Amino acid sequence: MNTFGRLFRINIFGESHGKALGIVIDGCPAGIAIDTDGLVADLERRKPGAAGTTPRKEDDLPDIVSGVFNGKTTGAPITMLFENKNVRSADYDAIRDTPRPGHADFVLHEKFKGFNDYRGGGHSSGRLTLGLVAAGVIAKKILSPVSIEAKLTEAGGNKDIEAAIALAVEKQDSIGGIVSCKVMGLPAGLGEPFFDSVESVISHIVFAIPAIKGIEFGSGFAAANMHGSVHNDAIMDEKGTTETNNAGGINGGISNGNELCFNIAVKPASSTPQAQHTWNKSTKSMEAFQVKGRHDLCIALRVPVVAEAAAAIALADLLLIHNAYQP
Amino acid sequence: MNTFGRLFRINIFGESHGKALGIVIDGCPAGIAIDTDGLVADLERRKPGAAGTTPRKEDDLPDIVSGVFNGKTTGAPITMLFENKNVRSADYDAIRDTPRPGHADFVLHEKFKGFNDYRGGGHSSGRLTLGLVAAGVIAKKILSPVSIEAKLTEAGGNKDIEAAIALAVEKQDSIGGIVSCKVMGLPAGLGEPFFDSVESVISHIVFAIPAIKGIEFGSGFAAANMHGSVHNDAIMDEKGTTETNNAGGINGGISNGNELCFNIAVKPASSTPQAQHTWNKSTKSMEAFQVKGRHDLCIALRVPVVAEAAAAIALADLLLIHNAYQP
Amino acid sequence: MNTFGRLFRINIFGESHGKALGIVIDGCPAGIAIDTDGLVADLERRKPGAAGTTPRKEDDLPDIVSGVFNGKTTGAPITMLFENKNVRSADYDAIRDTPRPGHADFVLHEKFKGFNDYRGGGHSSGRLTLGLVAAGVIAKKILSPVSIEAKLTEAGGNKDIEAAIALAVEKQDSIGGIVSCKVMGLPAGLGEPFFDSVESVISHIVFAIPAIKGIEFGSGFAAANMHGSVHNDAIMDEKGTTETNNAGGINGGISNGNELCFNIAVKPASSTPQAQHTWNKSTKSMEAFQVKGRHDLCIALRVPVVAEAAAAIALADLLLIHNAYQP
Amino acid sequence: MNTFGRLFRINIFGESHGKALGIVIDGCPAGIAIDTDGLVADLERRKPGAAGTTPRKEDDLPDIVSGVFNGKTTGAPITMLFENKNVRSADYDAIRDTPRPGHADFVLHEKFKGFNDYRGGGHSSGRLTLGLVAAGVIAKKILSPVSIEAKLTEAGGNKDIEAAIALAVEKQDSIGGIVSCKVMGLPAGLGEPFFDSVESVISHIVFAIPAIKGIEFGSGFAAANMHGSVHNDAIMDEKGTTETNNAGGINGGISNGNELCFNIAVKPASSTPQAQHTWNKSTKSMEAFQVKGRHDLCIALRVPVVAEAAAAIALADLLLIHNAYQP
């Protein structure tokens, strides 16, 4: 399913090299002003173009087709389309025979019995995150004054990101990174004890972002190496403010009013310029393989704004559900 | 919501110190023999009693109330109840004034406006995972011959688990751990490109297990520090077998036929015997605090069978969905 | 699926002749006092025993297993069990060979490949509506001060219900009826323009009640025979009060603040004492057939309280969703 | 929510007088040839233009934006857009002050706090059923060789439809009608015992069609007036063929392999040329009111193809779910 959310519900669609891709946002409250500046700003942050990112030009302002009237949301489904221009389909013909390592080419062919649009990753392209980013801008407005901030804190194992990118460009080999996300001002009480825990819901949508390999909340994997006496966050006041924040703002799946924080691991882009090997379905042998075309060396650079959007969408949904139970 | 799944759907209920807790499993195929041995074996694995786990006796064989006839599933909802015996409610009266650090006491009170059953964690108790384990036994049969195996690979930062437990007992302080889970024999094609990626669905249910702080698939967080040329798994044959398995058996959210593997981080139990601090709502001041009663020093010991169940439940659901699209 | 609802969510389970049947109610607001009198009153209204209903004794007070603490809902899932006593399984052995006309015996066998619990209708028994009635009592409290009232307005084509029953008893043949339901005090704005229209959601749950053959809102089928100038309800004030109520309190799928009203058609019980014919799987021929045991001659007598419950459950869900969007 | 379905899932969006409207179809099997002729044929059947329907010209061929590659479905979401041309927004300015009787103007304003796009019914326009019809064409292909046929069997209380329309034109007053739908060749076993009964699921989507006031399956409302001995359908062979079909092809919520049949009641169009009365929010008084513009006198003429689509969508979803449980 290409849908996420219970009340604030999104549905993404489209392919990398089709006519257009986009998103339908259902269950959005009426009366929210469409924040064009915010939209442009977030879409710019997602854009390629920096060193380490693909030079493909994307002029990605969405065409708002429905759900907005006189600059405000109407309560009806909001549809935003992103046209696919500047597309070179010919680059991708070879994919049919030689599935790219690290990519979804092989599994998409299996799952969809060869009927999938294989050009450029097709529906599974990272380009689909355009819709997420656009929806995130609206979700952020629903959450306001809660604020969300994600940044790349490490690339290729290096906290000096610029140096890491420079090295990747020099080596002509893609690198991964760590994105850290913080949510400030979130009220206590969001999320549910088990299956709709804040962690469950955020991780669910975060793993929809291509190239994510792991997520940790608060102390995360380091918790495995800590004692309870150290890990527990002492509660300091009636608002539940804690001395430390190993919980990452969540206890028992429910937000506790402290800063919500999580880290995600981004793998190096599968489309590295380096030589690789894969199975050739035509020759029925394993062969050397090299991707062509324009690709990011560090896709992690583009992930923070998508991670913010993902968190915003998940939390906007939980906030609406929370509101349902307020007297 | 206390429900999970789209076709194979579970609903858990109950409280630690109420009459009973349990699970309803809806959408289970008819004709599956109830595997009593498997049920006993998995529930035993979840049981406390080992060094480092709580001495509270739990005689946890479920009462199967519905959905099973002549030893086989009928296709109707399966309800399994676990009675709560051997319960000492008096131990928990203090929770109302002094929310235990690391526990959900504070947030449950906020979320449910003081109406929550606060005894022993109430509905948020780890004891609710009994239902998950029982459902997992059925899910494993649906998945058969796919096999799932999770184990504790590290406790308190130590790969010698027994030594780690001994040290925790000596120090009288709880410790965390890492649980590794492998799924063997999973066919390619399960999961969806975005929101119902295998990672999304598994992480969703895994974060329903209390005390989980992080999850990573395949190379996981290490991927952030790797080059694409190293991370990519070369495809070696027409079945999609790969030379390495950094993908963890998943590409683009879809199973690729290789071993599915993930690690989860378990925090140290919040109920450590060590002195802590928390807010006293009655005296309106921060005070020293010590948990009483019987508690695990290393809850991670009990997590593997729950993690297996969680993975089995998620994958059984994805398998049924997959079946829907086979000709 | 045996679940209904988006926020106020129910899951029914059990079989007519198994250990117990019941319901899990998830997403119920915390702090609602369990209305034992209301529970007893509504369960009594559903009870057989009157002329025209089966003399089987049912002592149907639910065992509340979870989600209630100190007499109030906790916000956690509420589980209510109804034990099956006074069960005569032997009566139903013949069903395996000779599926009862009008009943689900044949389709259940087909759907569940013979693994279904065939005794007394098994999971498909009308007895499962006990859970609906119990959930309805809670839903009514959520809706308060909105009130719901359903009654049998016609039986066997006769508005004099007692006379109709007397005739059915005399003829020893089951009869159907019409149940009319009214909801007073419902605010405007509940429901959604298309798929979650008030009519969609109410009809969805009403058709879960066994023996329902039709539903109509407001003018209903009579509308097919009316002119627009007559059918349209003139709006008389700023609250949207209308002069007539052909809309049945709903425009474009959304409640308009006027009385919500709908009628449902109940078929005659399939278990009529009269001789019938069915296929005998064993002899492979069509044979005369007669049901045995204790059965209602006019199940429609027991439907009003179930219809009220169904409407209450659907509307409580819509009300919570509505609340989510209030500032 | 503007979504329907569990596996075959649709999401409709758009407004009558916005840029475009459309549908996203998620969960469609891969490899289904897009049936352009079927698409044209069904969209033509939905078109206005006949006597009794509005002369507004709609050139409604959808723009397929995603999910189709080389003429076949890919397994990814299918998005179809219908542009809104030939739109006269000025006609609808008065709606803001004087909500049209029978329309959703009043409730939409209430529900969406005045932010709704009020032009021509906005999102609640019957024009949104274009997406349903297009999705229906695909659903019919999934169901093949099952066939679905709906027709208008009565208009304004008259079985001679042409005469009824002529009279409505003469009187210049809108009329309602009855649409009968039959599904031939449906296998036994679709649907679930309670909440996802075939009746529940079909009625849910049918009541999403504007102007529907009632639905009945098989004997329907007439069942209320029948005896059990007459209503029960005798089973004649091992396939479950029945002598009569009062069940309408459904027992206990599950298809029984016989013809599925249902009737729906369509109200007269609210936009009748006759004088009416409504509340004027500006003058704060009840006033005479007359709709302007181009409108259908008998919208029931356009309903059959939409009803077919609705049934096809619901049944395609149930068929996929059914497939999930086949060995």
Write out pLDDT tens, residues B250-278: 999 999 999 999 999 999 999 999 999 99
* Stretch A120-134: mean pLDDT: 94
Predicted pLDDT at D95: 75
> D3, D63, D74: best mutation site toward chain A, by most A Cβ within 10 Å?
D74
CB contact residues (below 8 A), chain A span 14-33, against chain D:
14-15, 18-22, 24, 26-27, 30-31
Count contacts between A and D (CB, < 8 Å). 156
* Stretch C8-13: mean pLDDT: 98
Tell me how far apart the alpha carbons of residues D240 and D233 are, in angstroms, rounded to a whole number: 10
**pLDDT grade, residue A93 (50/70/90)?**
confident
**pLDDT grade, residue B191 (50/70/90)?**
very high
Q: What is the pLDDT of residues B27-60, one digit of tens each?
A: 999 999 998 888 999 999 998 765 666 554 556 7
Predicted pLDDT at D235: 97
Q: What is the ipTM, given to two decimal places?
A: 0.96
What range defines the domain where residue D59 resides? 3-324
Domain count, chain A: 1
* Stretch A254-270: mean pLDDT: 98
Residue of A63, A73, A77 lying closest to D13 (CB–CB)? A77
Predicted pLDDT at C207: 98
Instruction: Determine the 3-state secondary structure of C219 from DSSP.
Output: coil
* Stretch A207-214: mean pLDDT: 97
Predicted pLDDT at B93: 75
Which residues, including other chains, have CB under 8 Å from residue B119's CB and lie 6 or more apart?
A: B15, B16, B17, B89, B92, B95
Greater confidence (A197 vs D86) lies with: A197
**Triad C192, A76, A136: Cα angle to 5°:** 120
Which residues sit opposite B288 in a β-bridge?
B277
Does an H or E element contain C21, and which? strand C20-26
- Please report, rounded to a whole number, the percentage of residues in chain B having pLDDT higher than 70: 94
Tell me, yes or no, if A248 comes closer than 8 A to chain B by beta carbon: yes
Q: Which residues of chain D have pLDDT under 50?
A: 56
* Stretch B170-196: mean pLDDT: 97
Tell me how far apart the alpha carbons of residues A44 and A302 are, in angstroms, rounded to a whole number: 10
Residue of D21, D66, D115 lying closest to A66 (CB–CB)? D21
Exposed/middle/buried for D39, CB within 10 Å: 0-12, 13-18, 19+? Answer: buried
Residue of C103, C178, C231 lying closest to D267 (CB–CB)? C231
Q: Measuring CA to CA, how many Å separate A74 from each of A77, A139, C46, C256, D118?
A: 8, 15, 44, 19, 10
* Stretch C31-35: mean pLDDT: 94
Tell me how far apart the alpha carbons of residues D284 and D305 are, in angstroms, rounded to a whole number: 41
Instruction: Determine the 3-state secondary structure of D272 from DSSP.
Output: coil
Tokens in use for D321?
A: 């779910």
Predicted pLDDT at C322: 98
Instruction: Determine the 3-state secondary structure of D215 from DSSP.
Output: strand
CA torsion through residues D245, D246, D249, D254, sign: negative
> A32, A142, A321, A322: best mutation site toward chain C, by most C Cβ within 10 Å?
A321
Tokens in use for B304?
A: 């593997």
B111 φ/ψ angles, rounded to the nearest 5 degrees: -65, -40
Predicted pLDDT at C1: 85
Tell me how far apart the alpha carbons of residues B301 and D170 are, in angstroms, rounded to a whole number: 82
Partner-chain contact D13 A3, CB within 8 Å: no
Residue closest to A303 by CA, chosen among C246, B224, C206, B211: B224
Q: Which residues of chain B neighbour D7 with C-beta distances below 8 Å?
A: 6-7, 321, 324
Tell me how far apart the alpha carbons of residues D11 and D2 are, in angstroms, rounded to a whole number: 5
Q: In the 3-class helix/strand/coil scheme, how is chain A assigned residue by residue? A: CCEECCCCEEEEEECCCCCEEEEEEECCCCCCECCHHHHHHHHHHHCCCCCCCCCCCCCCCCEEEECEECCEECCCCEEEEEECCCCCHHHHHHHHCCCCCCCCHHHHHHHCCCCCCCHHHHHHCHHHHHHHHHHHHHHHHHHCCCEEEEEEEEECCECCHHHHHHHHHHHCCCECEEEEEEEECCCCCCCCCCCCCHHHHHHHHHCCCCCEEEEEECCHHHHHHCEHHHHCCCECCCCCCECCCCCCCEECCEECCCCEEEEEEECCCCCCCCCEEEEECCCCEEEEECCCCCCCCCHHHHHHHHHHHHHHHHHHHHHHHHHHCCC
Partner-chain contact C30 A76, CB within 8 Å: no
Tell me, yes or no, if C7 comes closer than 8 A to chain A by beta carbon: yes
Range in A3-12, C292-301, D28-37 with the lowest mean pLDDT: C292-301
Q: Measuring CA to CA, how many Å separate A261 from each of C184, C221, D208?
A: 47, 57, 42
Measure the N-to-C terminal CA separation of chain B; round to a whole number of Å: 34
Tell me how far apart the alpha carbons of residues A143 and A137 are, in angstroms, rounded to a whole number: 10
Residue closest to D189 by CA, chosen among B33, C270, C115, B4: C115
Tell me, yes or no, if D231 comes closer than 8 A to chain A by beta carbon: no
Residue closest to D260 by CA, chosen among D204, D308, D205: D308
Residue A90 has pLDDT above 70, yes or no: no
**pLDDT grade, residue A278 (50/70/90)?**
very high
Predicted pLDDT at B291: 84
Q: What is the pLDDT of residues B230-249, one digit of tens each?
A: 999 999 999 999 999 999 99
Distance from CA of C10 to the nearest CA of B (A): 10
Q: What is the pLDDT of residues C123-172, one digit of tens each?
A: 999 999 999 999 999 999 999 999 999 999 999 999 999 999 999 999 99
Predicted pLDDT at D53: 62
Tell me, yes or no, if D50 comes closer than 8 A to chain C by beta carbon: no
- Average pLDDT value for chain B: 93
Partner-chain contact C111 B75, CB within 8 Å: yes
Tell me, yes or no, if D177 comes closer than 8 A to chain C by beta carbon: yes
Tell me how far apart the alpha carbons of residues A262 and A247 are, in angstroms, rounded to a whole number: 10
Predicted pLDDT at C51: 59
Question: Which conformational region is residue B120 in: left (phi greater than 0), alpha (psi within -120 to 50 degrees), or beta?
Answer: left
Residue closest to C176 by CA, chosen among D229, D254, D256: D229
Tell me, yes or no, if B248 comes closer than 8 A to chain A by beta carbon: yes
* Stretch A200-227: mean pLDDT: 98
Tell me how far apart the alpha carbons of residues D26 and D37 are, in angstroms, rounded to a whole number: 22
> C6, C115, C231, C298: best mutation site toward chain D, by most D Cβ within 10 Å?
C231
Question: Which conformational region is residue A149 in: left (phi greater than 0), alpha (psi within -120 to 50 degrees), or beta?
Answer: beta
The one-letter amino acid at D292: K
Q: What is the pLDDT of residues B114-134, one digit of tens each?
A: 999 999 889 999 999 999 999
Which residues, including other chains, have CB under 8 Å from residue D296's CB and lie 6 or more apart?
A: D48, D52, D53, D54, D174, D269, D271, D302
**pLDDT grade, residue C49 (50/70/90)?**
low
Partner-chain contact D1 C6, CB within 8 Å: yes
Residue of B29, B30, B321 lying closest to D7 (CB–CB)? B321
Q: Which residues of chain C neighbour D309 with C-beta distances below 8 Å?
A: none
Which residues, including other chains, have CB under 8 Å from residue A283's CB and lie 6 or more apart?
A: none
Which residues sit opposite D177 in a β-bridge?
D155, D266
Partner-chain contact A22 D111, CB within 8 Å: no
Residue closest to D256 by CA, chosen among D201, D326, D311, D183: D183
Does an H or E element contain D39, and which? helix D36-46
Q: What is the pLDDT of residues A296-308, one digit of tens each?
A: 899 999 999 999 9
Q: What is the pLDDT of residues A46-89, one digit of tens each?
A: 987 656 665 545 567 899 999 999 999 999 999 999 999 867 66
Which residues, including other chains, have CB under 8 Å from residue A298's CB and lie 6 or more apart?
A: A52, A53, A155, A156, A164, A165, A168, A174, A175, A176, A177, A268, A269
CB-CB contact of A21 with D66 (8 Å): yes
Predicted pLDDT at B50: 59
**CATH code, D286:** 3.60.150.10
Residue closest to D304 by CA, chosen among D161, D167, D191: D161
Tell me how far apart the alpha carbons of residues D209 and C263 are, in angstroms, rounded to a whole number: 19
pTM flag (> 0.80): yes
Tell me how far apart the alpha carbons of residues D88 and D17 are, in angstroms, rounded to a whole number: 8
CB contact residues (below 8 A), chain D span 112-141, against chain A:
112-113, 115-117, 122-123
- Give Dmax over CA atoms of chain A in angstroms: 69
Residue C53 has pLDDT above 90, yes or no: no
Tell me how far apart the alpha carbons of residues B110 and B280 are, in angstroms, rounded to a whole number: 15
